[in-house]
Amino acid sequence: MATLSTHKLETFPMFIAGEWVTSHQSHTVTLPYDGSPVGSTYLAKTDTLKSAVQAAKAGATAMAQLTNFERAELLLHIAALIRRDLDDFSHLICCETGKPIKEARGEAERSVQTITAAAEEARRLRGEVIPMDAAPTGKGRMGMTIREPLGVIGAITPFNVPLNLALHKVAPALAAGNSVVHKPALSTPLSALRFARAVEEARAPKGAYNVIVGDGKTLGTGLVTDPDVAMITFTGSVPIGKSIRDVAGLKRVTLELGSNSALILEPDCDLDAVIPRAVFGSFAHSGQICISVQRIYAHELIVKKFVDRFVVAAENLTIGHPFEESTDISSLIAEAEAIRVEDWINQAVQSGARLLTGGDRKRATIRPTILADVASAAQVSCKEVFGPVVAVNTYSKLDEAIKAVNDSVYGLQAGIFTSDIKRAFHAARHMEVGGVMINDVPTFRVDHMPYGGVKQSGMGREGPRYAIEEMTETKLICWTT
């Protein structure tokens, strides 16, 4: 506690063309839990963005000239530097997001896994042989494909997982031979700027990775419309994702947008296994995870037993300062967000939902909240709460629960607990989501798996191998023998 609470306030310049860049306007980053300053940086303007894109053009040329082996070794070097400085990265993530230090440490550790997976994919970057003589006119010809980098990738990343979600864009881009202009969330830029130091120390080509900080609308629009940016990869809200799609033109676009993840509990599920996973899935990082459990559909035969145990487990979570090792629940990213979540809870209760536990707010912190009998039209049911709130409803037949899961504009991930493999796969085939977790919560993710949604949850897939496919172009080479 003392080490974190007395940390040195540091100013991080932006990083462009391998150089550290300041501006006339500084920006203070604060700890969401209590508003205390934790660091600062500088703000970019349109000309700064232009410089970053031009630097990235040169960086893209340099990255494309590296061999697969050289790109893999570069990424492994960066991963080793993060592993060496894991405490430093964990500290910054905790400070800027307000997530408990043990969760921040987990994010920093996963970032090493993400970069390592991207390095492995860099070694495996390949095309395929095309059987040209499968057509009559192909006789005497051979063909092959190669994958080539797109060029400059614009990465726009969110506040909730500021390092690892950024690396899900940056690491595959570099592995594929692209360069990156990265705009992190204004509230959480420190870990990205600290990552730039690792890139510099690893001696990456100048301009391979560039970080700019500033107004999302100005810089985001500039990235999306710049003709020298070949692709935009964005994680954030549905309205902004739609606006990016509207103005991107022929640019490649990957969008990771909203979610409203659901979990089905069949009558034969093991509640001893369910309870700890449901608590984690619903309340980790105060629900500020894209695949947080927001809706639970429990079978009528087990709903009372489940709810009784779920409430007790939620009430046993420790609420406190994020620097404390014992803290399970800290603050949301801002008090305004906590006020919004509190309002949504109150609206649900006024509409007939039962408040089983939680619901109260202290500054930016919301106590873990469990609601029952929530109307499907309530905002906590049909929108993305992004807070520590979960709605528990009852069903009698599995297809009813599946229909309820699908009654959403989102479709990122869902989960089901059951010992019946046929029912599990029936649900998996019929739930309209990008990923189904059997006997686990939808919040589960390993960093090399394909990750992305359907409907308004976005388009494209992340996970290093799948992101590399999005960030490269297939070229055919055909010759006469």
Please identify every residue annotated as catalytic: 256, 290
H or E element: which one contains 210?
A: strand 209-211
The pair of three-digit structure tokens given for residue 203, joined into one six-digit string: 């001696």
> How many whole angstroms separate alpha carbon 431 and alpha carbon 453?
12
CB neighbour class for 78 (10 Å; exposed up to 12, middle 13-18, buried from 19): buried
Torsion of CA 208, 214, 217, 220, to 10 degrees: 0
Place of tokens 């969760």: 103
Rounded distance, CA 23 to CA 37, Å?
20
- The 3-state DSSP class for residue 311 equals helix
Position of tokens 């388009």? 459
Distances (CA, A) of 311 to 104, 115, 331, 370, 391: 25, 38, 20, 7, 12
Q: Are 438 and 428 in contact (CB under 8 A)?
A: yes
- d(Cα 75, Cα 83) in Å, to the nearest integer? 12
| Burial bucket for residue 134 (CB in 10 Å: 0-12, 13-18, 19+) | exposed
Alpha carbon 475 to chain centroid distance? Answer: 30
